[in-house]
């Protein structure tokens, strides 16, 4: 919780600083630092939700959490269309500092993770946290380890023999899934205009449609992933994304409705994978290394998002064919599908202690 609170405060202060930036260079530097703060808060927040959620409904908690998060993205996009023309772009960064107002409420109402406290053998503190959350104290079931201090977990600890396989699997899933989702999300409007020769307003409308559909995917998963598990929805989503991308390689690109349908469906299916990847990644790492593993996963996703524009632009420049771009993304989707199918285990309805072992 200290890391989360500090990251949010730093993020908000840097947002205000961005609004006062005197030139582009200063703005870019401040925006980069703000992004680091945002990236630091996210894995910690997801670890916290994971460690508090009940075993039987952990997937539902995560899906609803992500619905709120995706709703925030949509609201920011909608708000910018009305705020910027009237008040200017700096007003959006003032608005971006609003979360700092909630920090006192977070400090007062949300205790440290009871599971994390118990892992350190701090049973009394863990039970006080449980009481603050409205849950009866638990003594016998606490996994006491009586550590003398908080262990320092280096990033290389993720590649220790006990965690190496799960770290590699999660890394492959995050990187290649992000390549597909960011590749389609980032380039779809440009491809609509420059390759398929649609009007700009139509391109933006089709892209907004994909975003609107994606907004409700977390609610769908909230209803199913605790019952049907994590793996099969993820496998079906990745396979559907692969099928759509393969179709885009093979079809006649003058059939605009079909092109738009395949791009929209492929992007929503690929982006939906991250909704399942977050809880899955949090579940397979034990408490003492969970946030470290999620931090690596988040970094790989952001790395893929930075690499995707270079890869797509490079392929288009070298070959002049958008079919090759779709083939490259289809290959990434195939890797994701096979990795889910061959190298993952189901995590639904299992306790975190059971999964950690």
Of the candidate ranges 57-66, 204-213, 239-248, the one whose mean pLDDT is the lowest? 204-213
Nearest 5 degrees, angle CA 170-CA 296-CA 305? 85
In the three-class reduction of DSSP (H, G, I as helix; E, B as strand; rest coil), residue 321 is classed as: coil
Q: How many whole angstroms separate alpha carbon 355 and alpha carbon 293?
A: 14
Q: Percent of the chain at pLDDT above 70?
A: 96
Domains and CATH numbers, the chain: 2-110 (1.20.1250.20), 156-356 (1.20.1250.20)
Q: Are 233 and 225 in contact (CB under 8 A)?
A: yes
Per the prediction, the chain carries an average pLDDT of 87
Query: What mean pLDDT comes out for the span 211-226?
Result: 86
Looking at residue 174, its pLDDT comes to 95
Q: How many whole angstroms separate alpha carbon 125 and alpha carbon 203?
A: 54
Which residue intervals of 88-230 are DSSP H helices? Answer: 90-95, 103-109, 114-119, 123-132, 164-190, 200-215, 217-228
Looking at residue 256, its pLDDT comes to 84
Looking at residue 265, its pLDDT comes to 93
When mean pLDDT is compared over 47-61, 163-177, 299-313, the highest value belongs to 163-177
| CA diameter of the chain | 67
pLDDT tens per residue across span 87-111 = 988 999 999 999 999 999 999 999 9
Looking at residue 153, its pLDDT comes to 64
Looking at residue 245, its pLDDT comes to 95
pLDDT tens per residue across span 5-32 = 999 999 999 999 999 999 999 999 999 9
Looking at residue 70, its pLDDT comes to 80
Query: What mean pLDDT comes out for the span 288-312?
Result: 87
The pTM (predicted TM-score) of the whole model is: 0.81
Q: How many whole angstroms separate alpha carbon 56 and alpha carbon 326?
A: 39
pLDDT tens per residue across span 229-287 = 999 999 999 999 999 999 999 998 888 889 889 999 999 999 888 788 988 998 999 88
Looking at residue 23, its pLDDT comes to 94
Q: How many whole angstroms separate alpha carbon 120 and alpha carbon 125?
A: 10
* Residue 186: exposure state from Cβ atoms within 10 A (0-12, 13-18, ≥19): middle
Looking at residue 151, its pLDDT comes to 58
Q: Percent of the chain at pLDDT above 90?
A: 37
Looking at residue 149, its pLDDT comes to 54
């Amino acid at each position: 919780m200290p890391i989360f609170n500090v990251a949010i405060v730093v993020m908000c202060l840097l947002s205000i600083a961005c609004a006062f930036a005197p030139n582009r260079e200063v703005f870019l530097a401040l925006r980069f630092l703000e992004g680091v703060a945002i990236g630091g808060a996210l894995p910690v927040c997801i670890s916290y939700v994971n460690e508090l959620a009940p075993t039987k409904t952990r997937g539902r908690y995560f899906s609803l959490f992500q619905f709120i998060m995706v709703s925030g993205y949509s609201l920011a996009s909608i708000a910018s269309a009305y705020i910027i023309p009237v008040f200017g772009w700096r007003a959006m960064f003032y608005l971006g500092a609003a979360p700092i107002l909630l920090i006192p409420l977070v400090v007062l109402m949300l205790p440290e993770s009871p599971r994390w406290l118990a892992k350190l053998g701090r049973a009394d503190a863990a039970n006080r946290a449980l009481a603050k959350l409205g849950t009866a104290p638990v003594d016998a079931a606490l996994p006491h380890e009586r550590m003398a201090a908080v262990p320092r977990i280096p990033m290389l600890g993720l590649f220790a023999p006990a965690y190496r396989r799960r770290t590699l699997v999660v890394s492959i899933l995050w990187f290649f899934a992000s390549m597909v989702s960011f590749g389609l999300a980032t380039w779809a409007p440009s491809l609509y205009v420059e390759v398929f020769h649609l009007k700009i307003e139509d391109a933006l409308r089709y892209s907004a449609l994909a975003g609107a559909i994606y907004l409700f995917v977390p609610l769908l998963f909230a209803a199913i992933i605790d019952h049907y598990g994590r793996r099969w929805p993820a496998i079906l989503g990745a396979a559907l994304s692969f099928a759509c991308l393969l179709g885009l390689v093979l079809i006649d690109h003058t059939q605009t409705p079909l092109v738009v349908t395949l791009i929209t469906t492929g992007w929503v299916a690929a982006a939906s994978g991250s909704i399942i990847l977050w809880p899955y990644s949090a579940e397979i790492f034990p408490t003492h290394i969970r946030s470290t593993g999620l931090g690596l996963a988040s970094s790989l996703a952001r790395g893929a998002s930075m690499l995707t524009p270079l890869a797509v632009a490079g392929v288009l420049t070298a070959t002049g064919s958008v079919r090759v771009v779709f083939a490259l993304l289809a290959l990434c989707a195939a890797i994701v599908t096979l990795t889910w199918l061959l190298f993952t285990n189901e995590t639904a309805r299992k306790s975190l202690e059971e999964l950690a072992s």
